[in-house]
Chain A
Amino acid sequence: MNDAHEHSMPATNPPEADPTLATAPVVVAASDLSRTVHLGDQALEILNGVSFEIRRGESVAIVGASGSGKSTLLGLLAGLDRPTRGDVELAGQSLAQLDEDGLAGLRASQVGFVFQAFHLLTGMTALENVMLPLELLGDTGAEAKARDWLQRVGLGERLEHSPRQLSGGEQQRVAIARAFVTRPAVLFADEPTGNLDTATGKQIADLLFELNAGGTTTLVLVTHDLELAQRCERTLTLDAGRLVNPDSHA
């Protein structure tokens, strides 16, 4: 896999502004990522030879037109899908070498997710939703930690409410608490503000960056929202499945 680096474009230019980042370890490395889907007898290249590295603590926005392959890339980075070619190294682990259970284990311990559609489990309370990832890890202190995180996202009073009883913004906060509660190495977010009005979207973004700044979590988010993209330290732009500006600071 390492030879893939050599003929790919240098995808990452560590921001000079922050010398500590340049030396921080790489947590996400994509090398020659490609994804082809077959529709009937037609092969469709959704992603084509994408390579880059993301270092610990960075915040990266993936932008691009609709249908350019952003969600596909995110899915591959998070190990939700398998590339047709290339590999992803996540927290030092080559995803290609992991089986489904290995991927699940890695996601449980190293990855957090925030989605456009919130994806909370509707039958559970906010608290139970946040406890879930910890319980999957076998954490016995799940409840205390979950309470703590809900407090931090400002929902300390809504612990026993079901997602149906929460507004979109509140649901997304629960989702954020759920994503951070395991202190993941990387947090992936696919249009986290896409379903929210501008003001609420901004609050959610603030929350994300605030939590990110306070810890060692790396933020990788897909967005159409230019303002949100600008708040990230780095932007990766996709066009028809190719990375066009491997290093762009808007």
Chain B
Amino acid sequence: MSRPNWRLAWHLLRREQRSGELTLVTLAVGLAMLAATAVGVLTARVEMSMNMAAARMQGGDLVLRGDQPLPERWRERAAALNVEHADTIAFASMVRADGRFKLVEVKGLGPTFPLVGRYVLNDGSEHDGGPPAGQIWVGARLALALKIAIGDSIDLGQAQFPVAGIVSAEPDAIIDYVAATDRVFVNDSDLSQTGLVQDGTRAGWRLVFTGPAAAIRALSSELNDGLERGQRLEDGNETRPELRLALDRAGRFFRLAAVLASVLAGIAVALAARRHAERHLDAYAVLRCIGAKQSQLMSLTLLQLAGVVVQAGLVALPLAWLLQSAAAYFMAPGLGVALPAAPISAWIGGAMTGIIVLYAFALPPLLRLSSVPTLRVLRRELSAPPLAWWLHGGIGLVAAIGLLAWQASDTTLLLSVLGALLAISVALTVLGALLLTVGSWWARRTGGTLRIALGGMRRRRWGTLGQIVALGLGLAALALLVMLRTQLIDRWQDQLPPDVPNRFVIGLQGDQRADFKAALEELGVVDRGLYPMVRGRFTALNGEPISSGDFQTQRARRLAEREFNLSFAAELRADNRIVAGPAWDLEKIPEDALSVERGLAERLGWEIGDSISFDIGGIELQGTVVNLRELNWESFLPNFFVIGRPEAMRDLSASWITSLHYPKELADQEAGLIEQFPNMTVIDVDALIMQIRRTADQAALAIQAVFLFTVAAGLMVLLAAIRSTTDERLREGAILRALGARSRQLTIARAVEFGLMGAVAGAAAALAASFATGWLGERLFDLPFAVDWTTTAILAVLSASAVAALGLHATRKVVTVSPLLVLRES
């Protein structure tokens, strides 16, 4: 493009600025950018930090595990990347104390371990490192079981160590129901004198890393590429499902809000651009008349829009930076880690959203401008040829779907939102058309002010319908978010009631059950049901022995290698929802029936009717999958991947598991309980529950922030929708006033018109949003389907009054401005 054109574009842009004509377009674009960027960046940061927090529960940001000593080169790589590292080794061995033997897990700790977190000893002292060379620490449970006190000696292999500490909390307590075992901790420089670690020893080596997020990411991808046999890499993605669910739901809500904000901003942009185009037909006709080529005008339009993008970006991006920084600042203490910086892609994504929204929604009406007939300078009624509907609708729709798909990165979410919006639009169009029909019928039978109002609505038929749909969509999106937000936050609060089970008890023998229940009763504690449990390894599918190489994903491979929990039951607990296959009815299902968790079945490729073999402590158990279940991971009740009929456990030696809420006040008695049942293991999940509560609280906070953006976007749509007919109303009002209509009459007429539109849009939106909330809640957030009638009614009334008030305000000039001025300007 030649230089003068730039100059012209600049002139036109400045001109628009001066007249404030593009303000609403710029605001809408800015808001889309602001919402998309702030939400995108914050979500990325929170997700990364939550993963980090989760990773730190295993002692570092990144953990490399291996069944062989880990190669030196990774330590060098870490050092080069400015990443700290620490070594641990763990293996099983017998210890002897005071003549008693016990099988324990020995943990050898490198000099730098732990990188994050601390060991807490039972005297209350906290330590940045493990025991000094020549000393040993023992786990609290083991100390209890073997009656070990500080200063006692322990034999470990060929060496003997004095007990220098009793560990009550570990920095890397990976919360795994069954991994909780008795532990001793030694300095790894002492391991050689025990003679326990030699070539071929079965042990787990760990290399733990912490460092700046970017360096960790780099190291992580290098490690991933260089993984050898028997090695695996863990980051925070392997979090407990209870925690992951809370995170996923919050993330989904963020994305839903961002998507809705973009859609709303898009509608606002489209409305503002339409109005802008209407008002500029004359100017463009003149420009064409004095020799501007259509292509020149088109590039002018494109440049103008670029100007809008730059302006919107200049305001929105710094604001987004501020907002997400503030949100991150407030959320960091809760997360326990400083939030890592978001990848640059999150920023680019936000900016792109604004650009796409603008060009997709504003370009079609504005491009139409460049084809305005030049003859309009002589015959004012000539307008630009209407855009082919498929072009206008098509560009917007395709771009919007593309944008949403990219933003949502979640097909279910995308399709659900699109479906809901489409349904709402259809409902609004139908109701709007109904209002118009009834209104024009009524207009013929009435007089005075009401007739003016109804007549106005009829004259602006398309404008009115468009306004109702736009208003309704804006209101519906807002209502949707209000309701979903309330439900989500309620749900989090309900999910973890004060008496949520905070202890899992495993390893009880069948004959201890009655005693255990009695002991609990004495303490006033109630168990949540005792379940039999065996540990089994998956060995064959339909008679074909399996090997871990058969599985594609690392996760599936690990699942296949790992032992998992099987149980046996005559009835399934109510929160086990059967999603495929018949009910668990002992009368109707075969002898060898198995009920399997759906996710496990999917990952391991099991289907209903498959025959599965397990190795349970050397005994083979074979069964047929009859149904698939979904579990409620947030219940803190024992859950099992595989459940068989009670008879199937006859030959197996099952232990029993339960969960219970153990009140803090009874902390002193807990040791006594454990002493009474020495073979039992108690797993304390208070820390996990606290983490989930914290996560939910932060998520709720972030949700409120994101919610506000969306409300702003919704208001923008309302404003744009209301302003879309202002010019026409002004002209009409001026004529009516010139003909003698009184201001009061006109005001009432407008109030009636906007009130009616608001009532229809509001009622339709509230109703549609209620059902959409129920539907989306069920599909996306596992919330039970529910329609909240009170909120619906309140929203409908609020919407009607808000639209009437906003409408009256936006068109107040109709009665204040001199009719002459209006008529002269038009």
Which residues in A have some Cβ–Cβ distance to B below 8 Å?
71, 74-75, 78, 80-81, 100-101, 104-109, 111-113, 115, 117, 119-124, 128, 132-133, 135-140, 142, 178, 190
Contact = CB atoms under 8 A, between A and B. Distances in A.
A64 B5 CA distance: 40
B375 A80 contact: yes
B147 interface: no
A117 to B, nearest CB: 8
B8 interface: yes
A124 B11 contact: yes
B15 A121 contact: yes
Given A101-B295, A136-B290, 20 more contacts: A71-B379, A74-B378, A75-B378, A80-B373, A81-B373, A81-B374, A100-B294, A104-B292, A104-B293, A104-B294, A112-B290, A117-B377, A119-B282, A121-B15, A123-B16, A132-B290, A133-B291, A138-B2, A140-B4, A190-B378
A107 B392 CA distance: 31
A104 B11 CA distance: 20
Which among A71, A80, A124 has the highest number of chain B CB atoms within 10 Å?
A: A80
A133 B290 contact: yes
Q: Enumerate the 9 nearest inter-chain pairs by beta-carbon distance, A residue then B residue, closest first.
A: A108-B291, A123-B15, A80-B374, A107-B291, A104-B293, A135-B4, A138-B4, A123-B19, A71-B378
Given A80-B289, A104-B293, A178-B290, A123 B18 contact: yes
B104 interface: no
Given A119-B282, A139-B4, A105 B291 contact: yes
Nearest to B21: A123
B660 to A, nearest CB: 74
Interface in B1-54: 2-5, 7-8, 11, 15-16, 18-19, 21
A132 B287 CA distance: 8
Contacts of B21: 123
Contacts of B2: 138
B377 A115 contact: yes
B377 A104 contact: no
Contacts of B11: 124, 128, 132, 135
B293 A105 contact: yes
Nearest to B283: A121
Nearest to A131: B11
B286 interface: yes
B288 interface: yes
Interface in B615-668: none
Nearest to B2: A138
A178 B11 CA distance: 16
Contacts of A107: 289-291
A196 to B, nearest CB: 14
Contacts of A112: 290
B449 interface: no
B375 A136 contact: no
A173 B288 CA distance: 20
Given A80-B374, A80-B377, A113-B289, A136 B18 contact: no
Contacts of A115: 377-378
Given A75-B375, A80-B375, A121 B293 contact: no
Given A71-B379, A119-B282, A101 B19 contact: no
Contacts of B283: 121-122
Contacts of B8: 132, 135-136
B231 interface: no
A63 B605 CA distance: 89
B296 interface: yes
A135 B3 CA distance: 9
10 contacts: A74-B378, A75-B378, A75-B379, A80-B373, A80-B378, A81-B375, A104-B292, A105-B291, A117-B377, A119-B286
Interface of B: 2-5, 7-8, 11, 15-16, 18-19, 21, 282-283, 286-296, 373-375, 377-380
A10 to B, nearest CB: 28
Nearest to A181: B290
B797 to A, nearest CB: 42
B221 to A, nearest CB: 53
A136 B291 contact: yes
Contacts of A108: 290-292
Contacts of A104: 288, 291-294, 296
A113 B375 contact: no
Contacts of A75: 375, 378-379
A74 B290 CA distance: 14
Contacts of A80: 289, 373-375, 377-378
A149 B291 CA distance: 19
A122 B8 CA distance: 15
Contacts of A142: 4
Nearest to A108: B291
Contacts of A136: 4, 8, 287, 290-292, 296
A138 B290 CA distance: 13
A223 to B, nearest CB: 14
B280 to A, nearest CB: 10
Contacts of A105: 291, 293
A165 to B, nearest CB: 13
A87 B188 CA distance: 100
Contacts of A123: 15-16, 18-19, 21
A87 to B, nearest CB: 17
A101 B290 CA distance: 12
Contacts of B18: 123
B475 to A, nearest CB: 34
B386 to A, nearest CB: 18
Contact of B377 (A109, A119, A124, A128): A119
Contacts of B7: 135
Contact of A124 (B15, B289, B295): B15
Contacts of B19: 122-123
Contacts of B3: 138, 140
Contacts of B286: 119-121
B469 to A, nearest CB: 31
Contacts of B375: 75, 80-81
A36 to B, nearest CB: 15
B8 to A, nearest CB: 5
A197 to B, nearest CB: 15
Contacts of B379: 71, 75
Nearest to B20: A123
B597 to A, nearest CB: 66
Nearest to B295: A101
Contacts of B282: 119
A75 B18 CA distance: 32
A135 to B, nearest CB: 5
Nearest to B296: A136
A75 B288 CA distance: 13
B25 to A, nearest CB: 15
Nearest to A72: B378
B275 to A, nearest CB: 16
Contacts of A178: 290
Q: Which residue, of B5, B282, B289, has the highest number of chain A Cβ atoms within 10 A?
A: B289
A232 to B, nearest CB: 20
A82 B293 CA distance: 17
Nearest to A80: B374
B15 A113 contact: no
B291 A101 contact: no
**Which of A123, A135, A178: most chain B CB closer than 10 A?**
A123
B217 to A, nearest CB: 50
Contacts of A81: 373-375
A139 B82 CA distance: 60
A138 to B, nearest CB: 5
Contact of A101 (B287, B293, B373, B374): B293
Contacts of A101: 293-295
A109 B293 CA distance: 12
A81 B291 CA distance: 14
A104 B284 CA distance: 13
Given A123-B16, A124-B11, A132-B8, A137 B378 contact: no
A113 B294 CA distance: 19
